[in-house]
Every structure is written in C-alpha cells, then in structure tokens.
Structure 1
Amino acid sequence: MPSNAPSASKKRKRDDPLHESLSFELDTSSSTGTTGPLLVSFPALRAPKDTPFKCYGRKKTKKDYQKDKDDGGKYEHTLVVGEAPAVEFISNEEESRRAADSGCSYLLAVRDPRTSKVKILPSPKTPYILTRTVKALKSIAPADAPSTLAYREARTALGETFGTKKAKAAIRAQERNRIDAGSMEGVMQHVVDGIDGNVEGLLTKEEGKDLADSARLVPPFSATATDPGDVYALNDIIPDAEMKALNITGIEQKPNHNDRVAMLPWKYCNWVNNHLRRMGQEDKSKARKHKIKMLLYVSTMFLFRRVMSHPKGLDKATICDKMINVPPVVVDGLVSRFTESTRGSSVHMLTSAMSTKLLAYFLALCLRVDDFVSNPKTLADDLSLSVANVQAAFRSLGCQLKTLGDRERASRGLSDNLVDTKFAVLTAPVQFPKVRTRKKRA
C-alpha cells in the first residue's frame, strides 16, 4: 500500500554559502606601509604557478615627474620581476603605461568562504604588462644584419629557385645591367686621361661668348666701342655701293611734303613720313642729305619686307619688278643678305631666321636716325607687330628699355604725353641680354 510518508530526495543537498549573507571589508594593511597585491598580465604566455615574483621601487627622474603631471599620476614607478628555472619575467614600463592610458581601472576582491566576507584589497589601478627572456638565449650574441650584397644574393637565389618565369627573366636582366665596380678599377685612370685629353678641345668661356656673338642675327658690332654711333657701323648696315646708288635728288627738289612722300618706295610708314617732314624744315646740309638717304633705305626695306611676304617665295625677276624705283644694286644686296633659296632653285624666300635678321638691320638703322633713342610703339604700328615683339628685337640689339626724363624729352623735341613711354636706348659698350636658364624642379 502506498506510504503516506514524504519521499526522501535522492539528491544530496549541499550547503550553498552564496545564500548566506555577505559582508564587505576594506583591507587597511596599506596604511601600515606594506605593498598590496599587484595585478599583472602575461600576453601570449603563462608563467608557472611556483614562479616567485618581487616588486622593486624605482627612483623617479625629471622625465617621470613630467609624465606624472601629464597623466595625473595613474602609473606607479615600480618594477615587477619574476624568475623561473628557464624564463625570466620583468614588467615593461612602456606597455604598462599604455595600459594605464587605456581608461580602465581594476580592484582586487578576495572572498573568505568560512566567514563569507569579501575583502577589498589595495592594488594598482592598472596591470603590469610582463615580458619574458629565455635564459638559454641570453648567452648567444645577436646576429649581425645581413649586408646589402648578401641580401641581394640570397634574394636572387630564392627568385631563381622558386620564382616565376617572368621573375627569373627580370633577375637575369638586372644581373646583365649591373656594373662590377672591381672590374672598373683597371680602366678608371684610362677614362680620366681620355677626359683630360678631350677637354683640351673645348672652348673657353671667352671663346664660347665670341662664338655666340658671331651667331647673333644682328649687324656686325663692336663690343669695345664707347660711343653708340660706333657700335653698329653704317657701312655694315648699308653697303657703300648701295648707299651711293640711292638718289635723293627728286625728294630734295619737291617743296611739298606730300610730293616728297610720293617719291618714297613705301609711302605708308608714319615713322619715315614724320622724319621726312621734320627734315624738310631744316637747312640743307651734308648731314641732312645723309639722313634722307637712310630714310630712303628704310622705306626700301619696308617695301622689300612687304614683297617677300609671299608664302611660296619669288624669283629674282619678280622681285625686281615689284621693287619699283629701287636701284638694281640695292635689290641685289637685299636679296643676297636677307633671303634663302634651296639648291638648284631660283626661288628666294624670307625665312623666319632671315625675317629676324631683316628686322634687326631695320631697327639698327632706325636707331641711327633717332640718335639711338627710338619709340618701339611707333615702329610696331608701322610693322604690324606687337610692341612686345619689337621691344624684344631692340633688346637683341643690346638696347635698354626705359622712360626719358623731362630734360631729355625736351632736348629731343618729344611731347610730354610720352612721359610713361619706354624708349629703346642704345648704350656703349653694348651689352646683350643673357640667356636665362631654368632650374630643375625637385
């Protein structure tokens, strides 16, 4: 029959101390000057349980005081050292400081199961990060770093053994391009002697300057002349034969200015016309006739430049036909000095270099008429060129661009409206512009 007695539990009941009341107690042993327990960390390893550890204090330096000031005293300047039979442990100060800066704080609590008391133990706010040193490896000297040559040889051997076909081809190409410094020792002196021998054939600085000056597309000049009139001689600009062939009798006989302009080869140059108007009011003299001949030659150069602007060039007969009222000897001289023609061809062309040369001779003659002070703006309008191009041509002749003072303008009869105008002034001894060299960018 069923029993009315309560059935006994088959499981064994254990006293669970967690159900008992707990009490907390703060350990005051730190007030007696003793050091409480320390919290350490063993990254990627575990120390034997029987490893003894000791804590040592370290004297603070000025740098430590500054660090304490910066981090608010979160880190304690102590060392934790432990020694096992095969391994030594020591706290890493830098790693421990990084842990202190991580923002975490730790407290240690120990529960006594007999009294159900939890004791809060004093400990550092952050753990000590320990590093290990294997005792057996301390006596082995560290190996030296491999040299560049040894590293390259090992890398080449590895690439030739396990590299791809493309990598092996690159290694072989690199070996072919490598220069053996040892093999060059016997030929270095031969190379140096060859350099010294070849240097003897190079130009000096003065010889190089003379060669560069001779290649300038300007009239023949004197670098030692002390007077602007002697820099470019007139017979180098206008040969004596051409100067004698110029006939100014018709221009001198015309009393009216428009009639004199009508006698010019090119009638549309304001610079020539204005000079001719001023000369018509002067007394007849040898210097005046000389200047009229120069104006007539300037007008002839204007016409020649206009005729030779044909893109395909012209033959000699056509040029003579278009150069109306110009002596043949003048036409021949202009064609021979300022045109180029291909071998076996009778067509003459005004190339870019010859155009630059013609402009230089033209401006040099204008400077002589202007007493070596010319206005680039007036000539640029007559030549249908920009003022910058004409100014650059004047600089190539050795002129300086500058404004004139009131007294100098008055002596030359120039208007006060030209106070801000830059004139091309030829000085002696002549100084040509230096070639600018650009610096390499880093």
Structure 2
Amino acid sequence: MSTAKSASKKRKREQSPEAQFELAEPTTKKVGPLLISYPALQAPASTSFQCYTRKKAKRVTDNESEEDLLVVGETPTVEFVSNEEESRRAAESGCRYLLAVRNKQTCKISILPNPQSPHILTHTVKALKSIPPSAAPSKLQYLEAKTALGETFGTKKQKANIRAQERNKIDVGAMEGVMGYVMDSIEKGAGNLMTEEERKEAADKNRLIPPFSSTASDPAEIYALHGIISEAEWKALSISPFEAAQTPKERTALLPYRKSAWINNHLESLTEGTSKTKKKNLKILLYISAMLAFRQATFQKSLDKGKLYERLAAVPTLVVDSLLSRFTEVARGTSSYQPTSATKTSLLTHAFALCLKVDNYATNTTVIAHDLSMPVAEVNQLFRSLGCKISILGEKERARLGISSGSANEKRAVLTAPVEFPKPRLRKK
C-alpha cells in the first residue's frame, strides 16, 4: 500500500466545538463549588470534603448559611478544617473570586453568579490529638533555660555577662526583714533634700553673672548699676579729661583699652552734650575699657599688682583693687593673683551687663566678638546666660533705638523683663 493511500485512510481528528460562556442562574437548593486555600500542608487530590453548618433557628436562605459553612476533609493521618477567623479576615480583605464550571459534553462554561472568598484550612495530625498541649514556660523558667544555654554554648563574653548578672541579683527574701529600716532611711534622706524653691535659689547664687532681680518689670532694674560698679568706684571715676579733649583721637588715648571698636564708636557719639545720661554712659564706657584691659592682663598665669597699676593708670587704684578682688583668686600660701575660667567668665558677663545699659538693652554681639577675638556663638551664649535673647530687631525697635536700616539684618542680644534664664539641656537617654 502506498503512502498516499494509507494517509487517505487515516482517521481524521474530530474538531471540538468552540467553548461558549454563559451566566448560570442563581439557585438556592445547592451550595455549589467552594474555594479553599492551604496555607501549609496540602491534602491529596483524592481527599473528599464535606460541608457543615451550625444549627440555627429558621434559616431563611442558603446564602446566609454559606457564610457560616464549615469545610471538613480527612485523610488517614490528617484532618483538615476551615479556620473561621482566618476565613473571615480573607473575606473582609475584599478579595473575592468568580468560579466557573465546564460541561465536557456541551463545552459550555457556566459562570456562577455569586462571588466567593476562600476558606482557609488548618490541619491537625490525628496521632497528636490525644497529647495535651504543654503549658507556656514562665518567665523564670525561660531565664533559667537561657542561662543554661549561655553557660553551655556561649562565648567568653556571654558567660562573663551571665556571671555579672548573677552577682547583681537581689535576694528579695533576704530583704523582707529589713524593708522597714530601708524605708526609714529613705525618708530621713529625703528630709534633707532641697525643695524646688531652695534648688532655684542655689542655682541663682551659682550663676557667674552680676546680682540680679528676678521680679523686676523694667530691664533697667534687672542688673543694678551699683551691683556691678560699687558706689565708691563710681564716685572715684573722673570723666573731666574726656570732656576737655578736643579730638576723637585724644579721647581714645585716655582709655585703658584702645582697641575696642564698640567703645570707640560709643565714645564718639557721647562727647556732644552735657546731659546726665551721657555723663553716666561715659563713666560706664571708661569702666568697661578698664575691665577689657584687665582681661587682657589676665592672659598671663599670674598678675603683678604694680604693673597692673601702671597699665590701668587711667582709672583710680580703687577700681584696680576691686577688679583684682572680684575676678581673680589668691593661691594658697602665696600672695599672687591668678585668674580662673570661672573668674574670666564672670568678668565678661559683668562687662556685657554694662554694655546692655549703654545700648538700651539691645547690643550688637558681632562687634563685641570681633573686639574680644572670640567666636560670635560663644559671646551669644554669655549674653544668653544674662537672660538675653538673640534676635533681629523689628522696624519699631530699630526706630526707638535710632538704628539705621543698614543694620536691619544684624542680630542683637535683647534683654527683657522679667528676666528668664535658659533652661539646662536634658541629656539624651
């Protein structure tokens, strides 16, 4: 038989009809196919499942019973039961599916009208059902087991930590008899603690600033003038040479410290007129100049009193003696004066308090920092310790102080009443 003849006698494959989709009619007589999900162990394909519902009085429709269906399957070793809580979560998540059934004879695919959510199955091993579940270990048992593991398999560092923790353990049973004595000692110790007012008063005394009034309602009354410059020093200061000088250069030559642009600018603006305010500010400028010259002399480890008198010849010796007594310390067993970090800070804060009085309580800290060769941030911090706030003045404030618009963006230390000191910063835990 030829190849062509054999090919003609071959049985031709029947063409399958095209698939047709249709929407099934809703029915209430049968539950229909269900969708299940295996989160862990999957049942064999031959496993049969049954549906059960809870007994309720007068069920209206089977649609309500589908929400309470219990899907159960069983193999020789494992039981599968739908988890109601997990199935409810899956239904509430909004994920639903449309199921379709295919008829092999007619090749029609019927889409079920009701969307369904999956039933999440859990499994139980039959051999383990008779064994009661073990109780969860207590915290003490957990720590004991953890310690045993650490001592057996831990590193040297872990073993050392375990021994340190055991040494730091407190025997509560041994403390029962002495708790009364412990509480009594705590109460006695608490009786010696400072109150909030006493603590605030002690903190105010330890501030490296001039004497101040915390209740003053006017910035001029916060730091009293004679709390910084004594009345005897104030009377001893003489400004007649400044009034007799003819040129700014002659007036600057009368100062103990001549390299301060802040003092020189204010000195030039105060020479005109004879009002009491200008004479008062002139004396304050002379005293500030003496303080800055004294500060320059404190850069040495010890001060020679005779040389200091010569250096501050522009002010009375009473002023020099006052600066030595307030802003230096005498070493034990010697008669030499030595500055400390605390006395240097106190000297600057006293001088800055006088600067605020001359500047009507709004001082340009940038100029002062340049005069002292100090960072502006450090000078600002000292002004904050006096209760000032570092800010840019508004238009009204500049007009009141007579400051030009060209200095509008310059930050100034502003003192307001009542005085508020910066709160100590809390360290991060």
TM-score, length of structure 1 as denominator length: 0.65
1:435 is paired with a residue whose SS is coil
Q: Does 1:239 align with 2:233?
A: no
1:430 is paired with a residue whose SS is coil
Q: Does 1:192 align with 2:174?
A: no
1:361 is paired with a residue whose SS is helix
Pair 1:173–1:281, CA change in 2 (3 A):
closer
Match of 1:57 in 2: 50
Q: Does 1:297 align with 2:276?
A: no
For residues 130-149 of structure 1, the aligned pairs below 5 Å read 133=126, 138=130, 144=135, 147=138, 149=140
Pair 1:155–1:246, CA change in 2 (3 A):
closer
Whether contact under 8 Å (1:221, 1:231) holds in the other structure is yes
Pair 1:170–1:253, CA change in 2 (3 A):
closer
Match of 1:415 in 2: 404
- Aligned-residue offset at 1:91: 3.6
Cα separation, 1, equivalents of 2:159 and 2:412: 70
Pair 1:338–1:169, CA change in 2 (3 A):
closer
Residue deviations 1:96-127 (CA, integer Å, cap 9, x gap) = xxxxxxxxxxxxxxxxxxxxxxxxxxxxxxxx
- Aligned-residue offset at 1:176: 5.2
- Aligned-residue offset at 1:189: 3.1
Residue deviations 1:31-63 (CA, integer Å, cap 9, x gap) = xxxxxxxxxxxxxxxxxxxxxx9966234899x
Cα separation, 2, equivalents of 1:169 and 1:295: 66
Give the letter for the 1:58 counterpart.
C
Pair 1:272–1:195, CA change in 2 (3 A):
same
Residue deviations 1:200-248 (CA, integer Å, cap 9, x gap) = 2111112111111111000000111111111111111111122222122
Match of 2:74 in 1: 80
Q: Does 1:391 align with 2:380?
A: yes
Whether contact under 8 Å (2:73, 2:79) holds in the other structure is yes
Match of 1:405 in 2: 394
Match of 2:258 in 1: 267
Identity value in percent: 46
Q: Does 1:230 align with 2:194?
A: no
Give the letter for the 2:186 counterpart.
I
Whether contact under 8 Å (1:228, 1:428) holds in the other structure is yes
2:413 is paired with a residue whose SS is strand
Residue deviations 1:364-383 (CA, integer Å, cap 9, x gap) = 01111112121112212211
Give the letter for the 1:212 counterpart.
A
Structure 2 residues not aligned, in runs of 5+: 1-45, 55-62, 83-121
Deviates more, 1:232-241 or 1:287-296: 287-296
Cα separation, 1, equivalents of 2:123 and 2:259: 100
Cα separation, 2, equivalents of 1:293 and 1:425: 22
Kindly report the root-mean-square deviation, in angstroms, between the aligned alpha carbons of the 2 structures: 3.8
Whether contact under 8 Å (2:331, 2:338) holds in the other structure is no
Cα separation, 1, equivalents of 2:313 and 2:136: 90
Cα separation, 2, equivalents of 1:305 and 1:229: 25
Residue deviations 1:234-271 (CA, integer Å, cap 9, x gap) = 11111112222212221111222221221111122222
Cα separation, 2, equivalents of 1:262 and 1:436: 45
Match of 2:30 in 1: none
Whether contact under 8 Å (1:219, 1:232) holds in the other structure is yes
Whether contact under 8 Å (2:256, 2:311) holds in the other structure is no
Cα separation, 1, equivalents of 2:421 and 2:162: 55
> Quick one: which of 164, 170, 176 aligns to 1:179?
170
Match of 1:362 in 2: 351
For residues 331-350 of structure 1, the aligned pairs below 5 Å read 331-350=320-339
Give the letter for the 1:291 counterpart.
N
- Aligned-residue offset at 1:80: 3.0
2:270 is paired with a residue whose SS is helix
Cα separation, 1, equivalents of 2:159 and 2:397: 80
> Quick one: which of 348, 371, 376 aligns to 1:382?
371
Pair 1:163–1:318, CA change in 2 (3 A):
same
> Quick one: which of 280, 288, 309 aligns to 2:271?
280
Pair 1:426–1:92, CA change in 2 (3 A):
same
Aligned pair count reads: 333
Give the letter for the 1:330 counterpart.
V
Cα separation, 2, equivalents of 1:255 and 1:152: 89
Cα separation, 2, equivalents of 1:379 and 1:203: 39
Match of 2:243 in 1: 252
TM-score, length of structure 2 as denominator length: 0.67
Cα separation, 1, equivalents of 2:147 and 2:416: 69
Cα separation, 2, equivalents of 1:436 and 1:163: 45
Cα separation, 2, equivalents of 1:169 and 1:433: 45
Residue deviations 1:263-288 (CA, integer Å, cap 9, x gap) = 11112222222222112122x23333
Larger Rg over CA atoms: 1
Pair 1:93–1:320, CA change in 2 (3 A):
same
Cα separation, 2, equivalents of 1:243 and 1:406: 35
Cα separation, 1, equivalents of 2:248 and 2:419: 37
Whether contact under 8 Å (2:79, 2:126) holds in the other structure is no
Q: Does 1:430 align with 2:423?
A: no
1:281 is paired with a residue whose SS is coil
Pair 1:144–1:339, CA change in 2 (3 A):
same
Whether contact under 8 Å (1:315, 1:346) holds in the other structure is no
- Aligned-residue offset at 1:132: 5.7
- Aligned-residue offset at 1:134: 5.1
Whether contact under 8 Å (2:360, 2:401) holds in the other structure is no
Whether contact under 8 Å (2:72, 2:80) holds in the other structure is no
2:74 is paired with a residue whose SS is strand
Cα separation, 2, equivalents of 1:170 and 1:276: 69
Whether contact under 8 Å (1:316, 1:346) holds in the other structure is no
1:431 is paired with a residue whose SS is coil
